[in-house]
Amino acid sequence: MIVSSQQMFAQKTQLLIARNSVGKLQAAIANKKDQQAKMAILNEGIKASELTAADSKTKKYLETWAIKSYLSSYIALLDSDRNNSNKYYDLTIKAIDTAKRFENFEDNSGLIAAATYNVNIKKQQKGNVAYAEKDFAAAYTFLKEVSDFFPKDTILAINAALSAEGSKNENAAFDYFKRAKDNGVRNPVVFQRLANIYKNRQDNERAIKTLEEGLSLNQYNTLLNNDYINLLLDNEKYTEARQVLEGTLKVETRSKLLYYLYGYLHQKNANMGTAELAYNKSLAIDKNYFDALYQLGLVYINLGNDALVPERRDIPKYSSLINRAEVILVQAHDVKPKDKATINLLIEIYTRKNRFDRVQELKAQLDEF
């Protein structure tokens, strides 16, 4: 009887030590004690907790596993030794699972909830490390679980989406980008990525609407605005694209891309004069901007062809425009020597000018590619 009572006293003593460690830790956190002080409390408490978990009597107590999960979760968060931290992360999950097998596990729900919270913070840390190491599949596994635990947190949703995107899981990326958007995120990248996924799904109307939502929150954002204009042009919504471009150019006057797109829009509508002005403004910002050089060359060729129409045949004007096209396209060729479309246009110009030496030289270049 004496031996039995001593064993029972030892069991209760270890459980009491573990229980007291919970209170000491909470006080240390409230009083902003340093990590060393917290770890000293945890080391004392976890030893007692492990003894109670190994004892045939106290391992049947729900409190034993609730305390063990709580203390283990803090070691997982606070221990600077990565291996030890991971060890207690795994032990926390096992302790939580054991606690939840008890029918009355809600009696200690506060400790279990705190341990679960800490586990998710640790998962976030592990997910961030995996992402930094470019292990996107592992990052997504961790971060999706954390985002599911904190579904209103838009940053977690974005990080889960970016991890899914990195692991080529577009459907999952969509789900978490959409979660971020539905919870009020303003980040323009979210709207840009969602629109791109809609575009990949051939749902251009939703893509356009998503970019419009993003722009309503981030007016004149360069990334969103450029994607929006390009999408309107791709879907032949020329009137809408022109209105957006004209409004944007009143605010953003140093964007070579916007002037290029404005020129391209007018070129598509056969407004060659306006297209020429827009391309020249783009080239005033960047004289080696290939796309503007190439399209401006086309504008001069088209205007030259128009000058040869029988009812207004104007040879001097034609020659002047073809010469301009040559100068511009030679510059484009210098910027991108292997662009076949540019070479073919130059071959056409030199053929018209009977410059067959240059024709042969350019054809030889094409044969090299």
For the segment 188-205, what is each residue's pLDDT rounded down to a tens digit?
Answer: 999 999 999 999 999 999
- The confidence score (pLDDT) of residue 218 equals 95
Alpha carbons 268 and 26: distance in angstroms, whole number: 70
Contact 320, 307 (CB under 8 A): no
Single-letter code of the amino acid located at 14 = Q
Q: Element (H or E) spanning 20, and its range?
A: helix 2-30
Q: How far apart are CA 249 and CA 227, in angstroms?
A: 15
- pLDDT at 167 (0 to 100): 96
Map out the domains of the chain as residue ranges: 6-133, 134-185, 202-252, 255-369
Distances (CA, A) of 270 to 221, 274, 303, 313: 29, 9, 10, 19
Band the pLDDT of 107: cuts 50, 70, 90.
confident
Q: Check residue 11 and give its pLDDT.
A: 60
The whole-number pLDDT of residue 72 equals 97
DSSP letters, 41-108, are HHHHHHHHHHHHHHSTTGGG-HHHHHHHHHHHHHHHHH-S-HHHHHHHHHHHHHHHHHHTTSTTGGGG
Q: Classify domain 255-369 by CATH number.
A: 1.25.40.10
The average pLDDT across 262-282 equals 95
Check if the beta carbon of residue 91 is closer than 8 Å to that of residue 100.
no
Query: What would the pLDDT profile of 33-75 be if each residue is shown by its tens digit?
Result: 999 999 999 999 999 999 999 998 999 999 999 999 999 999 9
Return the sign of the alpha-carbon dihedral for residues 272, 305, 354, 341: positive
Closest CA to 328 of 283, 266, 272: 283
pLDDT of residue 104: 77
**Mean pLDDT across the stretch 93-117?**
89
Q: Rounded mean pLDDT of the chain?
A: 93
State both tokens at 155: 């940053």
Place 220 in a pLDDT band, splitting at 50, 70 and 90.
Answer: confident
Q: How confident is the model at residue 1 (pLDDT cuts 50, 70, 90)?
A: very low
The percentage of the chain sitting over the pLDDT mark of 70, rounded to a whole number, equals 96
Gap between the Cα atoms of 294 and 119, Å rounded: 57
- Beta-carbon contacts of 200 under 8 Å, excluding residues fewer than 6 positions away, are 170
